[in-house]
């Protein structure tokens, strides 16, 4: 890839990351209210933004693990 295209790609990645960070910040600021979440026999109270982040992280882990599992079986 020519040097000019790499520079453009780096700038686009930086812009994409900045836009995602701003969106995450807006979502976190708008979801500061506390919510009660039942986990089997316990009730946990936490800000809604924390709950969203935890669910997102769990989704990433599940996706990563299932992707790793299927890539191993495909070889």
What is the tens place of the pLDDT at every residue in 23-64?
A: 989 988 999 999 999 988 999 999 999 998 899 899 999 988
Whole-number pLDDT of residue 73: 62
Query: Taking each helix axis from N to C terminus, what angle separates 3-30 and 48-74, rounded to the nearest 10 degrees?
Result: 140
Whole-number pLDDT of residue 9: 87
Whole-number pLDDT of residue 1: 54
Q: C-alpha distances in angstroms, 43 versus 35, 37, 46, 54?
A: 10, 6, 10, 16
Whole-number pLDDT of residue 45: 95
Q: Where do the domains of the chain lie? A: 1-30, 34-75
Whole-number pLDDT of residue 74: 56
Query: Residue written as tokens 């500061």?
Result: 32
Q: What span, in angstroms and rounded, lies between the C-alpha atoms of 22 and 13? A: 14
Query: Residue written as tokens 């910040």?
Result: 25
């Amino acid at each position: 890839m020519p040097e000019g295209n790499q520079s453009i790609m780096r700038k686009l990645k930086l812009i994409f990351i900045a836009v995602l960070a701003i969106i995450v910040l807006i979502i976190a600021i708008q979801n500061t209210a506390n919510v009660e979440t039942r986990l089997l026999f316990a009730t946990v109270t936490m800000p809604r933004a924390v709950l969203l982040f935890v669910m997102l992280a769990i989704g990433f882990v599940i996706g990563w693990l299932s992707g790793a599992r299927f890539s191993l079986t495909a070889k």
